[in-house]
Structure 1
Amino acid sequence: MRKTALFAALSVTGALLSGCGTAERLSRIGRAPDMAPIADPTRDPNYRPVSMPMPAPQDARNLSANSLWRPGSRTFLRDQRASAVGDIITILVSIRDQAELQNTSERSRENSESMGIPRILGLDSSYARFFPQGFDPSRMIEANSNNGSQGTGRIRRNEAVTMRVAGTVTQVLPNGNLVVTGRQQVRVNHEMRDMQLTGIIRPQDIASDNTVQHDRLAEARISYGGRGTVSDVQQPRYGQQILDAILPF
């Protein structure tokens, strides 16, 4: 009876933990993952306007009268770089992360202690009565210890992501910096690759071809992952994930 109740409890728990994911996977058997619709990123429930420390406001420079040239413009008639909400900008993502760490430690220690009490309050004459087999008071206590430890650790990592993502300016901050958000989805057969990024850029970091390097994004958030047949196979089973979380060894 107890085994039946335990099995039922585990089954219900597993169903509650994995119901949503399993139902979603079963619903798309035989077809590729659905692409997200094109939508205004500011209408996403998780979208939050960015608030950053701002410098003191300054008066804008007056344009020169009877002049066709605008200060800061890189073209004769109009600056082609993104500058307003809704403008599109290309973000060049080139991440090459490589790290190698090696650590070796070794420690050795030896210790020896000895203590004797040849005479104490005249009781040395009574040692023979308490220790008939013989006793040397000069070697009453002796202790020796020897310990050593050795450890070696090594970490090696190499990651590379190179992509071009077109983003949209979603906000212009009071100091002129631009908040950009971009998303790109690529579906090949039954595998979906999804890349999302957001960050803050300075207008002067935008190149003349309306591109900006990803390392110029402040508060950058870059996410690159996938879902589909290959990703499902690479993910551990729900039962294994539960055991990995609760087992102490």
Structure 2
Amino acid sequence: MKRLLLPLLVLLVSACASRPVALEAMPEAELPPLPQAEPGAIYNSGLALDWFADTRARQVGDVLTVLLVEQTQAQTSSATSTSKSSSATLSGPTVFGRPVTAGGVEVLSGSLGGDRTFEGAGGSSQSNRLTGALSVRVIERDPRGLLRVAGRKQLALNRGDELLELSGWVRPEDINPDNTVRSDRVASAQVRYAGRGALGDANAQGWLSRFFNSPFFPF
């Protein structure tokens, strides 16, 4: 029995361990090379300034700024209440119309009764908010004109590292004149915000606390 105690303890502790947050960023999307036009005159269109051109992102390789306005809030509650009662009475026999008594107390008579009550309640709430801005690139344009964008921002701070990634599809009609689009206008959006460092370690539970809060704890 003692030989099985140590492997069992190691198994329980390893089950409570959590994997660290990985900050490996997704690889940069490779854009196809754009054909280079050969200038055939003194005028170079690449150096011209177009006063009436639309500078919003439309083609593969263009840069677009996504305004992060993500905010979610969820709340659930439940309550259950049940009760049940029952009773039964057994009358004692009679002799010549009189009950059988002993010491002035009826015998062979009794009563049964029972009450059961259950009440339970639970609730949970969660809210998240992410604001800011992230510049992404157009990596694909489908035949219907939708733009597939992707980008990331990685910050190396003195108290930890932070990584922000975003990808999804954008309609050109949703892009503002200043070449920005709200994140709630991005279809099939995938947003990931992760960090590690001293602040992340301070907010993480230890392995023993995770064990007591895990389903393996019998009490």
Q: 1:100 aligns with which of 75, 100, 105?
A: 75
Task: Report the equivalent of 2:29.
Answer: 41
1:40-189 counterparts in 2 under 5 A?
40-42=28-30, 77-112=52-87, 144-189=113-158
Deviation larger for 152-161 or 213-222: 152-161
Q: Which amino acid aligns with 1:165?
A: L
**Structure 2: how far apart are the matches of 1:225 and 1:208?**
31
Shift of 1:144: 4.0
Q: CA deviation at 1:159?
A: 2.3
Within 1, Cα distance between the matches of 2:211 and 2:122?
29
Residue deviations 1:101-160 (CA, integer Å, cap 9, x gap)? 3333322222346799xxxxxxxxxxxxxxxxx978xx9xx7644211111222233322
Amino acid of the residue matched to residue 58 of structure 2?
S
In structure 2, C-alpha distance between the alignment counterparts of 1:38 and 1:99, rounded to whole Å: 29
Tell me by how many angstroms 1:240 deviates.
6.2
Matching residue of 1:191: 160
CA 114–201 in structure 1, closer or farther in 2 if over 3 Å, else same: farther
- Give how far 1:227 is off: 1.2
Q: 2:196 is matched by which residue type in structure 1?
A: R
Deviations 1:175-197 (A, max 9, x none): 11111112112222131111111
Higher percent of residues as helix: 1
Does the C-alpha gap of structure 1 residues 115 and 176 become closer, same or farther in structure 2, counting only changes over 3 Å?
A: farther
| Higher relative contact order structure (alpha carbons within 8 Å, sequence separation ≥ 6) | 2
Q: Distance in 1 between matches of 2:120 and 2:27?
A: 54
**Using a 3 Å threshold, how does the CA distance of structure 1 residues 180 and 115 change in structure 2: closer, same or farther?**
farther
Q: Return the letter of the residue paired with 1:174.
A: P
CA distance in 2, matches of 1:36, 1:104: 43
Moved more, 80-89 or 155-164: 155-164
TM normalised by structure 2 equals: 0.63
Aligned residue-pair number? 181
Structure 2: which 5+ runs fail to align? 32-49, 92-106
The one-letter code of the counterpart of 2:133 is R
Structure-1 residue corresponding to 2:181 = 212
1:231 is the counterpart of 2:200: yes
Taking structure 1 as the reference length, what is the TM-score of the superposition?
Answer: 0.57
Structure 1 unaligned segments of length 5 or more: list them.
Answer: 25-34, 44-74, 117-133
Shift of 1:173: 1.4
Which whole-Å deviations, capped at 9, do the CAs of 1:15-67 have from their partners, x for residues lacking one?
xx99x97xx9xxxxxxxxxx989963349xxxxxxxxxxxxxxxxxxxxxxxx
RMSD of the TM alignment (CA)?
Answer: 4.1
How many Å separate the matches in 2 of 1:245 and 1:153?
19
* CA distance 1:204–1:115, change in 2 (3 Å): farther
Partner in structure 2 of residue 69 of structure 1: none
Structure 1 counterpart of 2:53, which letter?
R
2:59 corresponds to which letter in structure 1?
A
Amino acid corresponding to residue 29 of structure 2 in structure 1: P
